[in-house]
């Protein structure tokens, strides 16, 4: 074959490969968009936004940048590994089996979409649906076939697994391993503006499942805790929240409502480190005064989190939604 014909053959081959990829990517993107609408409908009825965000964060937060040079998926991260029983059994993941159960029917309906994508799509959609910022991110992640190793997610209270003597050091160790700086740590922690802790899960509060075990903000099965003001069932009552309107994604976490509602709100030692540590405190104060700044930084940090350790196999290097 002449050199010119060889160049032509290679060009044709590349063109064909690109078209196949383009078709795949288009079909994949259309499934993702349809799945997102189903997730929105599900969230609107269930108010399960917080647990879907926690699921996405716990799948991604196992990432270890020091192992990034090793064969995938050794560095772990956002690769859907949390669906495996071995990983769901980690202490930090208590209760998350429920969130996987919520996603399973949608994953079956949109079989082409990977677990890793379904989990990150659900997390990002839950934030947006609760009134938070849009999180533009890449999709097309491959799924890992083994669960992650235990011990990479943060502990809420001492003794800390990494041997750190205080919560600020612990946060820098844990989030530093993922590649986050002080500002990103504070922004990401603002996710606690939604959601609750439960005695039966983390054991960080005496408030457990059910109306009678809740606080004045979580104990009534029908109340208005949402950003859009829609009243109705909050889902399962109980537990203790960080904020009063704990289904609304805003900057109220940074207003430290705990100070005036001592008995009825939770505040972990890792939350407190953000107020007392000189490196964290300026960001905390800024987000308290400026919700736009919080939304801007949170969106970027959450998108970064959601791509840690991901291997993109759709399109040239994933597709943006």
Indicate the residue among 23 and 282 with the shorter CB distance to ligand HEM. 282
How big is the CA angle at 48 (ends 208 and 133), to the nearest 5 degrees?
Answer: 120
Beta strands 222-223; 232-233: pairing state: antiparallel
Annotated binding site for heme b: 192
Binding pattern to ligand HEM, positions 177-196, x when CB under 6 A? -----------xx-xx-xxx
Q: Is 198 in the site for ligand HEM (CB under 6 A)?
A: yes
Q: Indicate the length of the chain as a whole number.
A: 321
In angstroms, the CA 76 to CA 200 distance is 27
Indicate the residue among 24 and 162 with the shorter CB distance to ligand HEM. 162
Q: Are 207 and 200 in contact (CB under 8 A)?
A: no
Residue with tokens 């609760």: 130
Of the residues 125, 202, 218, 252, which one makes contact with ligand HEM according to CB under 6 A: 202
Piece in contact with ligand HEM (CB under 6 A), picked from 5-13, 26-34, 53-61, 289-297:
53-61
Indicate the residue among 97 and 156 with the shorter CB distance to ligand HEM. 156
User: Which of 195, 265, 221 is closest to 52 using CA atoms?
Assistant: 195
In angstroms, the CA 11 to CA 47 distance is 51
By annotation, the residues acting in catalysis are 58
Q: Is 224 in the site for ligand HEM (CB under 6 A)?
A: no
Indicate the residue among 195 and 315 with the shorter CB distance to ligand HEM. 195
Residue with tokens 């959609």: 125
Binding pattern to ligand HEM, positions 116-155, x when CB under 6 A? --------------------------------------x-
Instruction: Looking at 68-222, list the stretches that DSSP marks H as alpha helix, in order from N- to C-terminal side.
Output: 85-88, 97-109, 115-129, 167-178, 182-189
Binding site for ligand HEM (CB under 6 A): 50-51, 53-54, 57, 95, 154, 156, 171, 188-189, 191-192, 194-198, 201-202, 204, 268, 270, 302
């Amino acid at each position: 074959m002449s050199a010119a014909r060889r160049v032509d053959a290679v060009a044709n081959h590349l063109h064909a490969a690109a078209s196949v990829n383009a078709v795949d990517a288009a079909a994949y993107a259309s499934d993702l968009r349809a799945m997102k609408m189903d997730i929105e409908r599900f969230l609107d009825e269930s108010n399960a936004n917080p647990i879907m965000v926690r699921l996405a964060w716990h799948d991604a937060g196992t990432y270890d940048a020091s192992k990034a040079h090793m064969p995938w998926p050794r560095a772990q991260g956002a690769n859907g590994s949390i669906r495996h029983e071995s990983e769901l059994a980690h202490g930090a993941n208590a209760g998350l089996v429920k969130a996987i159960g919520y996603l399973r029917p949608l994953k079956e309906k949109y079989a082409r979409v990977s677990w890793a994508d379904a989990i990150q799509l659900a997390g990002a959609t839950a934030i947006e649906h609760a009134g938070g910022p849009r999180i533009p991110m890449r999709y097309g992640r491959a799924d890992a076939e083994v669960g992650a190793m235990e011990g990479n997610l943060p502990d809420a209270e001492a003794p800390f697994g990494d041997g750190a003597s205080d919560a600020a050091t612990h946060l820098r160790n844990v989030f530093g391993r993922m590649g986050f700086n002080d500002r990103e740590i504070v922004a990401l922690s603002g996710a606690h503006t939604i959601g609750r802790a439960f005695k039966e899960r983390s054991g960080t509060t005496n408030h457990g499942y059910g109306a009678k075990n809740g606080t004045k903000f979580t104990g009534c099965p029908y109340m208005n805790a949402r950003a859009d003001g829609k009243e109705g069932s909050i889902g399962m009552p109980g537990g203790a929240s960080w904020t009063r309107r704990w289904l609304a994604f805003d900057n109220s976490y940074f207003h430290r409502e705990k100070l005036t509602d001592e008995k009825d709100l939770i505040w972990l030692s890792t939350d407190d480190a953000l107020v007392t540590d000189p490196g964290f405190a300026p960001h905390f104060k800024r987000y308290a005064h400026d919700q736009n700044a919080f939304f801007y930084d949170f969106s970027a940090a959450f998108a970064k989190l959601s791509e840690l350790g991901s291997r993109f196999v759709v399109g040239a290097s994933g597709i943006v939604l």
